[in-house]
Structures are given as structure tokens and as C-alpha cells.
Amino acid sequence: MDHALEVDELIDQDIVLFAAREGAEVVGVGALKELDEHHGELKTMHTAEASRGRGVGRAMLDHLVTEARGRGYRRVSLETGSMDAFAPAQALYEGAGFRPCEPFGPYRRTRHSVYLTLPLAKEPPGAEHHS
């Protein structure tokens, strides 16, 4: 199952797309989708192959988390692949404080996906939060 966004989905009013550039070249992209007024989802994180290992992914992740905080989200979550090819992405997210969580939003448990979340602010009493 592929949860990547198609180009036409990136123009949704609930999604904001950011690009990291080196000169005129785009070296990384990332998107933030509003799930509700307190919960955002990181989408479409990608670093150009030639730029991997140079901190582009971490800079984009930090930018997206800062944007989520600025929007007042209480947490930000993501879905990524469970296969070996996604191990560097998982390490990046876990190194930034993301922890495993239950599937959220439209997602359902599958062996091909890993779900991670990062609390940004204290959840109010009775709020749903999976860790």
C-alpha cells in the first residue's frame, strides 16, 4: 500500500508543501497536513539522492515540526514504510523524538507501515493519544 501523495493532492488547502534548495536545485521536500486543529501529519518527506547524508532531511523535519508548533498542533504524526529501505527515515524520526503509535486518521494496521508520533504540547485530559 502506497500512502504517498499525488501531485493534485498536494494542492489541498489542508496541506502545505516546503522545498529545500541549494541554489536553484531542489534538494529536499516535505509537507504538513492538518488532520484536525490539534494534530498534523508529516507527508512527502524526500531528500534528493545526491544530497542524502548532508542534513537536508533533518533540517526539513525540524522545519515541519516548527511549523506544526506554530499552528498550535498538540502532536504531529507520520506513516512510513517498515521495509529495510525505510530504516534511515525511521532512524531520523526516532532521533527527533518520534515514538511508535497506533495507526491514525485514515490508516489501518499493515505490516508494510510504521506509525510514529511526536507530542508537541501537553494533551488535555481525555484527549486521544496513542504511544
Give the pLDDT of residue 20. Answer: 93
Q: What global pTM score does this model have?
A: 0.81
- List the CATH number of the domain containing 76: 3.40.630.30
* pLDDT, average across residues 73-98: 96
Structural domain contains residue 52: yes
Structural domain contains residue 43: yes
- What is the layout of strands, in order, in the sheet containing 39-47? 15-22, 25-36, 39-47, 75-81, 113-119, 99-100
Report how far residue 76's alpha carbon sits from residue 87's, in angstroms, rounded to the nearest whole number.
20
Which structural domain, as residue segments, surrounds residue 109?
7-119
* pLDDT, average across residues 41-64: 91
CB atoms closer than 10 angstroms to residue 92? 17
